[in-house]
Structure 1
Amino acid sequence: MPEADLALITEAARGAGQIALRYWRQAPKAWEKPGLGPVTEADLAVNDHLRTLLLAARPDYGWLSEEDTDSAARLSARRLFVLDPIDGTRAFMAGEETFAVSLAVVEAGRAVAGAVYLPALDRLYTAAHNGPALFNGVPIRCSTQPGIDGARLLTTAAALAPEHWPGGVPDLKRSFRASLAYRLCLVAEGRHDGMLTLRPAWEWDIAAGSLIAERAGAQVTDRHGTALRFNLAHPQAEGVLAAAPGLHAALMSRLIAK
């Protein structure tokens, strides 16, 4: 079933990306969602397309999307779709290329299939829980970075503030991308050694990318070192740290030092 679900969401992600591109750099209508940031007419068009397509194919699956009102019905679903129609909406609105469609299937609290597609770059990342992580169909692996020295970390400047690091602020090379899903995939691809967000992370932003990073060999946890779980009543993780195993251990030792 994960393979069939992966084929379904992979095709769906590509189609959704083409819808998003119709609005990209075309000044789509936009407004603010209280507490959740901006949304555009493109987000809603992509979401409507995916809801119709995916639930027609899997009518017994639950549904959790950033652009739909949440329902407790998903909590009793055996499997569910967890998605962000456009992850990195601010980048999308600015005409940048690094926005993504993020789709996952979750079963028993775990992501079992994931697809992240960047339509402006035609970059497709996929994984099933029992298979390899792929970039445009080719297997990928995370880096072998053994520790902090020389590490390349995707995170915000605020996340490296001293109050977060009782064991000492790590000296590393920092960069950033707007899309959480894409950050996780860049770790999976080995283009960056790790990514970190200390802020609560919505499941729709991280479910697909976290599976892809894990299947590429990265260690993925919340900010406390606990394995991620999905389809929670309040669908947020307490931050995310995804990194090459040696780097993950080194960063955790500084985050949790007494």
Structure 2
Amino acid sequence: MVLTIKNISKNFGGISALTDVSFSIHEGEIFGLIGPNGAGKTTMFNIITNMFPPTSGEISFLEDKITGIKPHKITDKGICRTFQNIRLFSQMTALENVLVGGHSQIKSGVFSGVFRTKSQRDEEERLRVTAKELLELVGLSIYEEDMAENLAYGQQRRLEIARALASNPKLLLLDEPAAGMNETETDDLFYLIKKVQARGITVLLIEHDMPLVMKLCDRLTVLNFGKKLAEGTPEEIQNNKAVIEAYLGSEEEDHIA
């Protein structure tokens, strides 16, 4: 079991964003977390990465409790994420953005950095090779010297994923990666996420593009008003009347297929 969410609740003042939510993700899965806007999906991501703590409940990653530990320690343990809104360093090149993502993998200390020791230079070179390989993985190798702000929208989304992968995660959290993408870009994203899975990385996905979700995910949890509504395979979710009514509306049943 890679990630175990146990009875997580989150209150903001008198508002309950999440109420007693539990689910588990197996190693190597692409696991979807879906629901209407305001269902609590991104709040769950923020709690997993400890951008803010839960009101109650606990989270375990590879059987170690991680509830409340500092965000950079979450990354060190092997969890990394992307965001709904693209958060690239716009005035840095594509390659530099990925190199920043790999910073957590640098083990050299201050002394090595100041005096440019051989071990520190070798480490930097390995990081640079990895960054170039990740740009090739996401289809951006020819743009490595281009400023991030000059890339097309879909390319920026893929660059964010490359930067996240540079931290060598065991679990990758993707927050609406297909948002704003056209059909071709979404198809490219599908194959990219499958490549990520093939590298042995477990994926937790928030996404509103239902055809993509149903084609991509092994299992799904559905949230509604901060509560867990259903869990199962795409086929089980497609045929769940409560999900159809609460999430899509009965008149839109065909849209989930």
Q: Same fold (TM over 0.5)?
A: no
- Which structure dedicates a bigger proportion of its chain to helix? 2
Q: TM-score range by the shorter chain?
A: under 0.3
Name which one, 1 or 2, has greater alpha-carbon Rg.
2
Calculate the TM-score normalised by the size of structure 2: 0.25
Task: Name which structure has the greater RCO, CA cutoff 8 Å, separation 6+.
Answer: 2
